[in-house]
Structure 1
Amino acid sequence: MKNCTFYISLILAVTLASCKKEETPTPKVIYEDTSKPKTEVPEDTTQIEIADLPINMDGTNYLIFPIGTVSSDKKVKASYDSNTGYTVSNYGEYQITGYLQNLKFQEIGKDTIYALTDKNVLIETATYLKSTADKTKKQLMAYSLADMDTNKDNKLDNNDIKALYLSDISGKNFTKISVDFQELIDWNVVESRSRLYFRAIEDTNKNGAFDKEDTLHYYFVNLLDKEWKATEIKPLP
């Protein structure tokens, strides 16, 4: 009986250790060899580029085409909706969401269609700052996206650090606002000051993850400035 109890305990210990190992989160940052030049993320040849139908944010003069990918493997149907066909984005409340490789813009009444960026990015949200436009007549977009393979797994996905960008509603002046290697937490607009405030976290203990031991940073951007620049503030002692 004692031997049986011993073996059962041993099996449980091994099983728990295995589960604990599997639950270890993938680091968002790998610091080795950071002195080496950045390498391009290899193209995934199993993916087909798709453009969704255009979106016109209410009160603006531009069409926005979300650009994403779906698998070329006919057995993979994760991105296929039998009712709407191939779909790479969702739209609601002046925000486009998805895992998008780009956005393309077209001014209404013109034929030219152009890309937001020529960088390799993965856009999760693209938000029209309508409240700011109503107050200042300046039409802007804010983006949450990954722009670097920070965990060095040769792909851009939601395991990489999220950054904050701004652009005009036309997609022009696409500008990074957050600091490299700081993970965007959240942001909001204070209309009375025409400012966008955001928080980001820095991996100060360099363990590759973001946790309670790391440092929170607080910033604001004056949306009326010709050149957007984040200014750090200290709301805490």
Structure 2
Amino acid sequence: MKKYLPYLSAMLVVLFISCKKQEEEKPKVIYDATSKVKTEVPVDTNQILIADLPVNMEGTNFLIHPIGVVSGKGRGFKSSGESGEGFTVSNYGEYQITGYLKNLMFQEMGKDTLYALTDKPILIETATYLKIFADKTKQQLMVYSLSDMDTNKDGKLDSSDIKSLYISTVSGQKFTKLSADFQELVDWKIIESKNLLYFRAIEDTNKNGEFDAEDKLQYHFVNLLDKDWKVQEYKPI
């Protein structure tokens, strides 16, 4: 038996590498005839929704309750974020909440009512308070990077799906999508002196399900003083 162990070990290594390669090569977008993606995902009965303790962005009159999941039955729990075991599903620092969050609940100071950011399935990775913008204009806004569609059609929303850019007031109202469907958010920034939010997204122009050098970057900006947050395209190159 011992003489077969090296061969068995080698086969297991090859199998692991093969599975890992297949996982890595899985397209980020899977298209059908209409290029529509079903956002509904099956309910995972092994997941339990919990809320972290609330966050108050400095200078605002609202509490934000991060909502995430812990999974596992029997002995203990494991969180859905990167924090490992325990009951914490988010992190907070420098006006930004991070994690893999199912939703955010908002509560005005002094009131008992809590309401959700959205009733649609999403997975929030970052929620950023525009503190500098608020200090200058007295408008309090939040910007989010999140997944809102099961673009790879694996039956769940996770970091393997396309990330989109959203905006809302600091109260969670007017939750609005800025980036286009099927375009992966690359980055965004605020030009404080002009009250503008600029962002880049990449479009899978060759429809191979991946975002690479052969695809096209799209450039956009939004006037944050615009009540409707109209997205405008620009062409720097």
Do the two structures share a fold, i.e. TM-score over 0.5?
yes
The CA deviation at 1:183 is 0.1
Instruction: Give 2:130's aligned residue.
Output: 129
Cα 1:78–1:191 shift into 2, 3 Å: same
Normalised to the residue count of structure 2, the TM-score between the two structures is: 0.87
The CA deviation at 1:18 is 4.0
> Take 1:226 and 1:190, find their aligned partners in 2: how far apart are those partners?
18
Q: Structure 2: give runs of 5+ residues left out of the alignment.
A: 1-9
Cα 1:211–1:48 shift into 2, 3 Å: same
Give the secondary structure class of the aligned counterpart of 1:87.
Answer: coil
> Take 2:185 and 2:107, find their aligned partners in 1: how far apart are those partners?
29
> Take 2:24 and 2:78, find their aligned partners in 1: how far apart are those partners?
26
Instruction: Give 1:55's aligned residue.
Output: 55
> Take 1:184 and 1:19, find their aligned partners in 2: how far apart are those partners?
28
Q: How does 1:137-148 map to 2 (within 5 A)?
A: 137-148=138-149
> Take 1:222 and 1:23, find their aligned partners in 2: how far apart are those partners?
40
- Percent identity (aligned): 69
Instruction: Give 2:218's aligned residue.
Output: 217
Normalised to the residue count of structure 1, the TM-score between the two structures is: 0.87
Q: How does 1:30-179 map to 2 (within 5 A)?
A: 30-34=30-34, 38=38, 40-75=40-75, 77-79=77-79, 85-179=86-180
Decide whether the 8 Å contact of 2:169 with 2:175 is kept in 1: yes
Structure 2: which amino acid aligns with 1:127?
Answer: T
> Take 2:42 and 2:29, find their aligned partners in 1: how far apart are those partners?
19
Instruction: Give 1:8's aligned residue.
Output: none
Greater C-alpha Rg? 1
The CA deviation at 1:209 is 0.4
Decide whether the 8 Å contact of 2:37 with 2:150 is kept in 1: no
Instruction: Give 2:29's aligned residue.
Output: 29
Cα 1:36–1:161 shift into 2, 3 Å: closer
> Take 1:69 and 1:181, find their aligned partners in 2: how far apart are those partners?
26
Cα 1:33–1:95 shift into 2, 3 Å: same
Q: Structure 1: give runs of 5+ residues left out of the alignment.
A: 1-10
Question: Aligned-residue CA RMSD in angstroms?
Answer: 2.7
Residues matched between the structures, number:
225
> Take 1:112 and 1:183, find their aligned partners in 2: how far apart are those partners?
35
> Take 1:207 and 1:37, find their aligned partners in 2: how far apart are those partners?
15
Structure 2: which amino acid aligns with 1:185?
Answer: V
4+ residue segments displaced more than 6 Å: none
Decide whether the 8 Å contact of 1:26 with 1:159 is kept in 2: no
Is 2:236 aligned against 1:235? yes
> Take 2:103 and 2:34, find their aligned partners in 1: how far apart are those partners?
26
